[in-house]
Amino acid sequence: MIRHFISLLDLSTDELLSVLDRADELKKEVKAGHTSQTMQGKTLALLFDKSSTRTRVSFETGMNQMGGNTLFLSPAEAQIGRGEPIEDTARVISSMVDIIAIRTGPHGNLIRFTEYSRVPVINALTDFNHPCQLLADMMTVREKLGRVNDIEVAYIGDGNNMCHSWMIAARQFDFNIKIAVPEGFEPEADLLQACKDKATLTNQPLEAIRDVDVVVTDTWISMGQEDEKQQRMQAFEGYTVDTKLMENASPDAIFLHCLPAYRGYEVTEDVLDGPQSAVWDEAENRLHAQKALIEFLINEK
């Protein structure tokens, strides 16, 4: 059976934990100057119609380290950008490569592609969620706190794709998340309902952050929302994660941000670059976590 990774819900908790275990092993290997050649002769196609630094570099480098190849296609270069249907593109590309990662806006387009793909498809970010980021985030939480379950998380900012991904992670990894968003920027209601045992909503950042182990935020202006910049800047006033707000979290709390970060907006420079920030390890862990994910999906196939 082909396994896809469209959401963290596509893998069981045990499977997710085994991917994280393998990611830890792969990280150790890289640090020791050795890389397992588990992807020799395999090709990963990357279909990205949005900008990327971390996701692209981690997938391309990871595949190269494992002895495989990558193929990067943007809509400007592929016929899909000139109107070739998603279904036809999926059938053709998946007849030639071994695994595909897609970054696009509409989540429905990713689902349509997946339905016609003969090989595993990885969600490399949609407007709805960003599950690869959460693999790296949970790997980082475990490195820093020694566990992924039984923790308290505060998500402060926009109820966007990152917020959704953290909510789903709370279900899969069994932790509690308090979400502070301004009115009108809530996460999707259906998802909130599905995660109601683990996720709670407030309009007060201070209420969300009190005594938590992990503080998370993300940009207030996601890709594609550039026209809403002025309105969003106003709406998110008071939601900046600064040192004063951080003082209300547990003294050992870590700060996470998927990056790119906008210093002075969703987070201040002293928090992002400060002692509680784990964002650089978090970014590096994209490499190790996605290598483990690729191995898992290819081996399942």
Which of ligand CP, ligand NVA, none does residue 219 bind (CB under 5 to 8 Å by kind)?
ligand NVA
Return the DSSP state at 26: H
286 has catalytic annotation = yes
Would you say 70 or 160 has its CB closer to ligand NVA? 160
Q: Which of 7, 40, 18, 96 is nearest to 300 (CA)?
A: 18
290 has catalytic annotation = no
Question: Is the Cβ–Cβ distance between 142 and 205 less than 8 Å?
Answer: no
Question: Is the Cβ–Cβ distance between 46 and 124 less than 8 Å?
Answer: yes
Q: How far is the CB of 57 from ligand CP (least distance, A)?
A: 8
Strands (E), 26-68: 43-48
Which of ligand CP, ligand NVA, none does residue 114 bind (CB under 5 to 8 Å by kind)?
none
Binding site for ligand CP (CB under 6 A): 52-55, 125, 133, 258-259
Catalytic annotation, pick one of 22, 54, 130, 142: 130
Query: 3-class SS at 181?
Result: coil
* Token duo for residue 88: 């036809």
Which of ligand NVA, ligand CP, none does residue 53 bind (CB under 5 to 8 Å by kind)?
ligand CP
Binding site for ligand NVA (CB under 6 A): 125, 160-162, 218-219, 222-223, 258
CA dist 70 and 102 (Å) reads: 13
CA dist 246 and 244 (Å) reads: 5
Which of ligand CP, ligand NVA, none does residue 206 bind (CB under 5 to 8 Å by kind)?
none
Would you say 192 or 254 has its CB closer to ligand CP? 254
Kindly list the catalytic residues.
103, 130, 133, 218, 258, 286
